[in-house]
Homo-oligomer: A and B are copies of this chain.
Amino acid sequence: MTHGISMAGYMFVNPGEEILVPSLFWGNYNLSFINAYDAKIKPYNLFKGEGLDVAAMGAELMSEGDKKILLLNFPNNPTGYSPDVREMKEIISAVEQAAKAGKKIVVICDDAYFGLVFEEGIEAQSPFAWLANLHENVLAVKVDGPTKEDYVWGFRVGFMTYGIKGGTEALYTALENKTAGAIRGSISNTSNLSQSLLLEAFDSPTYQEEKKEKFNILKSRYEAVKQAMKNPDYAEFFKAKPYNSGYFMCIELKDGLDADVVRRLLIEKYSIGTISLNNLLRIAFSAVAVKDILALFDGIYSACKELTV
């Protein structure tokens, strides 16, 4: 995945160019884009109320300049949010409008957590499915990997897929060759062991079943989080940002609580590991057994209380 993001940067980002990323984003984008390619990161506001602020994203696409690089990340890291079907249509419509207005848009779909959608009504497809044939001015780039989709942490395999309306064989061949050259010049190739094992796994008759088992484990953790968050006491100190998918969810701390102070108290006294982002704590519920999830949130509650008294 990381290497796919890095290669997308290599392919499409010139020094000084802006990449539109959601305002809550994976910190590694800083390393992959800013440090490696001298790009600028321009955040668009992710949430408005309980849903996406699609208008903010659209406004950035329509801002000055002909070339736009948009990054979409669903399920989002850190928030674990994916658009519902209506929101997805709004996103696609905003991209289409900008394309019709003459903007040349590269949309990088970071699909690291693809498939981990836990609610009805949430769009289960990648935006890539909508964008690949949308408009001649829209080049859709899908970056995904088996790390989370297939639960093979440490395999370090990734995929890049391109789609553009009216794309010719010559164009796709050029994209493929340039991508292959970029890979050849940076890592030569991906681990052959990992690739071989994955190919075998994809062909296994029990692949879908084994994958479903793992999905159900994650879904049960997600459900446990939702159940825990029903506790009305928590509202005194924190509330959830919208979440419905992926590996994570975030809680927003009340004014007066410093997320990094809370984080440190949590790890030192409660042995609870979180990541702090401004006034948010990111909770990796994917890594917490169902039986421990209530204790996790109760611990956060206690730490907040301790720091408030």
Contact = CB atoms under 8 A, between A and B. Distances in A.
A192 interface: yes
A41 interface: no
A3 B188 CA distance: 7
A142 to B, nearest CB: 18
A181 B31 contact: yes
A148 to B, nearest CB: 12
Interface stretch (A97-105, A153-161, A162-170, A250-258): A153-161
A35 B187 contact: no
B32 A185 contact: yes
B28 A185 contact: yes
B184 A31 contact: yes
A194 interface: yes
B186 A155 contact: no
A10 interface: yes
A36 B187 CA distance: 12
Given A35-B181, A154-B192, A156-B190, 14 more contacts: A1-B188, A2-B184, A3-B188, A6-B185, A30-B185, A31-B185, A36-B182, A36-B186, A154-B193, A156-B156, A156-B191, A187-B187, A190-B191, A194-B194
Interface of A: 1-3, 6, 10, 28, 30-32, 35-36, 153-156, 181-182, 184-194, 197
